[in-house]
Amino acid sequence: MNKNVLITGASSGIGLNFSHKFAESGHDVILVARSEGRLLTLSQELESKYGVKAHVFTSDLSKPQASKRLYDELKSQELQVDILINNAGFGLFGEFEETEMSKELDMIQVNITALTELSKYFGKEMVSRGDGQILNVASTAAFQPGPLMAVYYATKAYVLSFSEALANEWGPHGVKVAALCPGATKTGFSDAAELQSSKLFQSGVMSVDDVVEEGYKQMMTNNKTVIVPGLKNRILTQSIRFMPRKLITNIVRKVQERV
């Protein structure tokens, strides 16, 4: 049975690959991003290639009320969201006293506020129906503090904690909630966050194809709540549980520094 899958940040990176993955699997997709041109091109490609419906909604989720407007637009078109992929998000590199506050507030709005609002709006309907799935894109950054990307790491810690709590609350109501926690991944994210020259991204990254394949499989088939793609990333996130927090923070600082 075809389901409607809403994907934020659908025009590039992980969101773009999820759009192809769900369409290839026979699901209709609701594509959300800021770039109307990219979305229209993607919509035409998905409909032509996979024979599904691909709806386009342009929205800048860094703007207050954008999430509510998006929800209202979908309601007005009587589009039910069966699966929600909260993928939109971005990061920013630099010493906290030197980075731009406006960018960090936009980051909080997208990474936390919009994700929370969309989960609330569509999640309530899923609970009422007794069926639905939400995948929130977090990061391995969620498992520890992140000097030189302090706000970004903190936002992803919120996403992970929030997702695990909702999974517990809504599981008995037939709604599955999961957090996808990729490590360094080859997408446009690293360019936007000015990370290309950091030791983290110089030490090796996963392909976006591998991240999405793992996320899709664990979400749709294995019903996992916390999904960490890649053996190296899984070992990392488990090992830091046994290390002093101050030591972890110092290690992250060194890994984040530019080469």
**What are 177's two structure tokens?**
């909630």
Rounded CA separation 255/259 (Å): 9
Buried b (16+ CB within 10 A) or exposed e, 10-31: bbbbbbbbbbbbbbeeebbbbb
Q: Which of 50, 121, 153, 156 is catalytic?
A: 156
Catalytic-residue membership of 156: yes
Cα-Cα-Cα-Cα torsion 107, 112, 118, 122, nearest 10 degrees, comes to 160
Q: Which of 121, 152, 153, 216 is catalytic?
A: 152
The CA distances from residue 3 to 25, 29, 80, 109, 133, in Å, are: 10, 8, 9, 28, 11
- Give the DSSP letter string of 174-198: TEEEEEE---SBSSTHHHHTT-TTB
Rounded CA separation 166/207 (Å): 29
DSSP, collapsed to helix, strand or coil, labels residue 134 as strand
**What are 254's two structure tokens?**
């060194």
Buried b (16+ CB within 10 A) or exposed e, 72-105: eebeeeeeebbbbbbbbbbbbbeeeeebeeebbe
198 bridge partner residues: 258
Q: Please identify every residue annotated as catalytic.
A: 152, 156
